[in-house]
Structure 1
Amino acid sequence: MLGCRDPAFILGYLARCARRGTHLLAFWCEPEGGAPVQQVVAALAGESLPRLYRYRADGGQTPGSETDSLTILAARDFALLPAAAQGMALELLDSTGPEELAARSRRAWDQGLAVDESLWQQLRSLAARTLVASTEDSRARGAGEGAAR
């Protein structure tokens, strides 16, 4: 997936696939404090939430460089994470398990989320161009009419 600006948006999709019996491994690299940090998400079949890992690893990139790629591996049966790490100089920075993700989700539902005003304006603008007023006439014509202006 090239040009992906926030690969973390896939976490929910990975979790849903895992609940349906597929093992998934997603990884991408982000610059953090001048050094690349490898983000790895493992969604194991049957688990309701993925596991997140952050590694400091150069990956052959120059400090502060940015990548626009996201790699996803999916299989019904595999053990790729240990094999993928062999021969690489990886330093585990932190990991987040399903229990912590569930606690974060509960806090977000209980306390709400803060959304940057500029992002909120972008979402409103997009919705204004895409959404159609819900009237008897618009329902008779079908959803999405006029969205391709």
Structure 2
Amino acid sequence: MNVSHNELEGICRKAFQGIGFSEGDAADAADMVAWMEVHGLGGIAALKKGVHFLLKEGESQPPSIIYQDADVTVLDAHGNSILGNASLALELGYVRARARGLSVTKIRHCHNRILVIGYLSRLARRGMNVTAFWRNAHDPLTELVVGFRAGHPIPDLCFYSLEAVPDDIEKNDGITLVMANHVDLMPGLRSSQPLTNLIQHSEPDLVARKAQLLTAGMEVDDDLWKTLKSLADRLLVEATEDSRSGAGAGTNDND
């Protein structure tokens, strides 16, 4: 079915609340999904892939700190979706970059990582240079690099595969984020390994895609939409139960 940006964001926000996200986390997660989709970067596909994992996770929980010094923070997301773990981790990196000029934040053991791009856009609008990168354990091994310039809410994005598998065999389920106050961090593709299947999206490309999708609307899989509606309906059930328990006259004139 075809939906508008506002419809997509609204149903996602209610669905995330139905899963157990706090109101703030639900709003952030919905914004990430809708932002990705309206820029043609597959927010709906990523949500469809991860929604069943979200149902198993239940209420979102904050990531825990593994290591921290003045400039570097390493966090453990406990194998959960980035949708419930992004805000605190990214805000921590943002505050440190504001104070120190540069910060590095590593989020380990998370999935749905592609959706973090929507939240990074917020940081760029607030005047922060941001680069994020991660690898996917596919065959072939692939890497995604995303770069935002301060004041520019649309990134340049590079996606490519590596022909040679590196010696590091650690599971690829993390994100590295570099933020800088006054230094342009736009990534350059310089590697000792040959890069293949290069896909690049520039800022003008994504701006044009957004204009097109805002006009034409976005296609959502019918089954996914039904799932989101079902999750959103949990809020109505809870509200009805609360209303019934509080119905009737109060015990004093101030009720």
TM-score (norm 1): 0.69
Deviations 1:53-110 (A, max 9, x none): 1122255289xxx83322222221335534xx65541526021111100111111111
Q: Is the Cα–Cα contact under 8 Å of residues 129 and 149 in structure 2 kept in the other structure?
A: yes
Q: Is the Cα–Cα contact under 8 Å of residues 14 and 50 in structure 1 kept in the other structure?
A: no
Residue 8 in structure 1 maps to residue 114 in structure 2? yes
User: Where does residue 133 of structure 2 map in the other structure?
Assistant: 27
Q: Is the Cα–Cα contact under 8 Å of residues 149 and 184 in structure 2 kept in the other structure?
A: no
Residues 1:68 and 1:56: Cα distance change in structure 2 (over 3 Å): same
User: Where does residue 49 of structure 1 map in the other structure?
Assistant: 154
RMSD (Å), alpha carbons = 3.0
1:115-126 → structure 2 map (5 Å cutoff): 115-126=220-231
| Alpha-carbon distance in 2 for matches of 1:16, 1:59 | 34
Aligned-partner SS, 1:3: strand
Shift of 1:18: 0.9
What count of residue pairs does the alignment treat as equivalent? 130
User: Where does residue 17 of structure 2 map in the other structure?
Assistant: none
| Alpha-carbon distance in 2 for matches of 1:61, 1:105 | 39
Residue 67 in structure 1 maps to residue 172 in structure 2? yes
Deviations 1:130-149 (A, max 9, x none): 35659xx69x9xxxxxxxxx
| Alpha-carbon distance in 2 for matches of 1:47, 1:103 | 15
Residue 108 in structure 1 maps to residue 213 in structure 2? yes
| Alpha-carbon distance in 2 for matches of 1:118, 1:26 | 32
Deviations 1:14-60 (A, max 9, x none): 1221121111111122356x312211110111223111111222552
Deviations 1:114-139 (A, max 9, x none): 112222122112211235659xx69x
- What code does the residue aligned with 1:11 have? I
Q: Is the Cα–Cα contact under 8 Å of residues 41 and 52 in structure 1 kept in the other structure?
A: yes
- What code does the residue aligned with 2:210 have? S
User: Where does residue 18 of structure 2 map in the other structure?
Assistant: none
User: Where does residue 193 of structure 2 map in the other structure?
Assistant: 89
Q: Provide structure 1 residue ranges, at least 5 long, that are not aligned to the other structure.
A: 141-149
Aligned-partner SS, 1:94: strand
Determine which structure has the larger helix proportion and give its number.
Answer: 2
Aligned-partner SS, 2:193: coil
| Alpha-carbon distance in 2 for matches of 1:99, 1:133 | 44
Q: Provide structure 2 residue ranges, at least 5 long, that are not aligned to the other structure.
A: 1-106, 247-255
- What code does the residue aligned with 2:193 have? A
- What code does the residue aligned with 1:71 have? T
Residue 39 in structure 1 maps to residue 144 in structure 2? yes
Q: Is the Cα–Cα contact under 8 Å of residues 55 and 90 in structure 1 kept in the other structure?
A: no
- Which residue among 76, 101, 113 is the counterpart of 2:181? 76
